[in-house]
Structure 1
Amino acid sequence: MTQSIRNIYCVGRNYAQHAKELNNEVPTSPFLFSKPTHALVEAKSQSIPLPGHRGTIHYEAEWVVHICRPYQKGMSLEDLIDKMALGIDFTLRDVQSELKKKGQPWLLAKGFPNSAIISKWIDFPGLETCKQTPFSLWKNDQNVQTGNIEEMLFDLPSIIAFTAEHFGLGEGDIIYTGTPSGVGPVADQDKFVLKWGEASLAEFTVDLQSSRVGKN
C-alpha cells in the first residue's frame, strides 16, 4: 500500500505530556506538518538506514489512519477510513531546534528519506474499538512509549475536519495522529518493535550511517 500513498499529514503536539517534555506550548488548535512520500518505508524486519551525520535523531511512535475516499462533510469515520497502522515519525532534533529558532518550516528535520516508518496495515475496526487498545514502542526489548488515542488533545473527527478544510483530504492520504510522551534518541543498531495491544505490527533495526555518509 505504500506505493499508492498520496499525502502524508502529521499532527504535532497532540499529546499534552509530549508537548511538555520538549518544553513546547500545548496547542489550542490542531498543528499539522507534512512529509514527502520519499520519507515513507514499511518496516518488515529489515535494517533501515538513517542519516546519523546530521545530529540527534528522535523516535516518535504514532497511530496512523488511511483515507479510502474523498472527504465530504458529514461522512462517518467508518466510511472514510479503511485501514490503520502504527508508525514512527523520526525527527532530526538538533536540526529542528535550529529551524524553530529561525522561525523556518520543519521539512529539513522531518522529511528526510525513511523518516516515516509504517507498519503493516490492518482493518480499521472503528474509533470506539481503537480507544480500548493501547499502542506502544519497544526499543531493544524495553518499552519506551505507550499511548492511547483517548489521550489525544484533538480527537480523530477534529483532525479529519481540520485537515480536509485547510489542505484537502482524499483517497490514499494518511495521517500520523501524534506521539505520546517518552520520545528519545536513536543509536546505531537499535531494534524497534511497534505493538498494537499485545500484537506486534512491525519491527526493524536502525542503520545509523554516521561513519559512511557525509564525512568526505
Structure 2
Amino acid sequence: MASMLTQFRQLGRKIVAVGRNYRAHAAELGNPVPKKPILFLKPTSSYITEGEKIRIPEECSSLHHEVELGIVISKNGCRISEQEAMNYVGGYVLALDMTARDFQDEAKKKGQPWSLAKGFDTSCPVSNFIDKDTLSDPSNVRLWLKVNNAIKQDGSTSDMIFSIPYLISYISKYFKLEEGDVILTGTPEGVGPVSNGDVIEAGLGDIISMKFTVE
C-alpha cells in the first residue's frame, strides 16, 4: 500500500473537488451555504509538485489561490457508509485549488460548467504524500497560505460544513472511488488573486508546507 500511496499521481484516475465547504468562504464570495456537497472534477493533468510553476491561463485576469486538505483514497469502493469511510483513506496531501475566478464568474452567470476555471494545466499543486498516521485528526488541523510572505488564509478543517466521512460516503454514491483518487475538501476564507512573479507558500499545521511561484 505504501508504494501505491506515494505514487498516487500516476495511479489516481480523478480529482473530485468540493466547493463551498466552509461557511465563511461561501459568504466572502456572496454564495449561499450549500445544503449538500457541491462537486466538480479536476483532471489529473492539472497536478504539479514543488519545482514546477503555476501558470496563469491564457486570457485569465483574476487567478485565485485556495488552500485545501486532500484525501488520498487507498482502495476501490462504491456506496461507502460513513461508518466505513475512513477505512478508505490511505493518507493526505496539501493542495491548492487554483481558480480562474473571472472564468468561473462568467460560467456561473451563463449556467456553464467550471471546467476551464478549475481544471486548467497547473491548477492543482500538491505536496508530498502525508501518511495517515502522521495526521491523527484531519477534522481539526490548521490550513494556512501566504502570498509573498503575507498571510492570506488561516483556517481550520474543523470549520468544514461536510465532514470527511460524509464526503467520502456522498461522493461514492455517484462516482466509484478508486485507489489513488484524491478528494479536495474545500477551502477556508481568505481566497484572493495572485499575479506573475508571486510566491505562494502553504501549509498544513506544522506537518508539511510547500511553495510555488506564479508565472
Give matches, 1:94-133, under 5 Å.
94-125=102-133, 129-133=137-141
Counterpart CA distance in 2 for 1:135 and 1:109 is 23
Task: Say which SS state the counterpart of residue 18 (structure 1) adopts.
Answer: helix
Counterpart CA distance in 1 for 2:109 and 2:53 is 33
Q: Can you list the C-alpha shifts for 1:72-102, whole angstroms capped at 9, x where unaligned?
A: 5346344211120111111111111111111
How much has 1:201 moved relative to structure 2? 2.4
Change (3 A) 1:182 1:112: same
Give yes or no for contact 2:100–2:118 (8 Å, CA) kept in 1. yes
Q: Which runs of 4+ in 1 moved over 6 A?
A: none
Counterpart selection for 2:162 from 143, 148, 154: 154
Counterpart CA distance in 2 for 1:203 and 1:82 is 24
Bigger mean CA deviation after superposition, 128-137 or 4-13? 128-137
Unaligned runs of 5+ in 1: 208-216
Counterpart selection for 1:16 from 12, 23, 27: 23
| Structure 1 residue identity aligned to 2:72 | H
Unaligned runs of 5+ in 2: 1-6
Counterpart CA distance in 2 for 1:148 and 1:48 is 25
Whether 1:80 aligns to 2:82 is: no
Counterpart selection for 1:7 from 14, 21, 26: 14
How much has 1:47 moved relative to structure 2? 3.1
Q: Which residue of 2 aligns with 1:168?
A: 176
Q: Which residue of 1 aligns with 2:57?
A: 51
| Structure 2 residue identity aligned to 1:63 | L
Q: Can you list the C-alpha shifts for 1:124-155, whole angstroms capped at 9, x where unaligned?
A: 23876223431211111111112211110000
Q: Can you list the C-alpha shifts for 1:28-63, whole angstroms capped at 9, x where unaligned?
A: 001100011111112x14433222532211111100
TM-score (norm 2): 0.89
Task: Say which SS state the counterpart of residue 203 (structure 1) adopts.
Answer: strand
Q: Which residue of 1 aligns with 2:4?
A: none
TM-score (norm 1): 0.89
How much has 1:200 moved relative to structure 2? 4.0
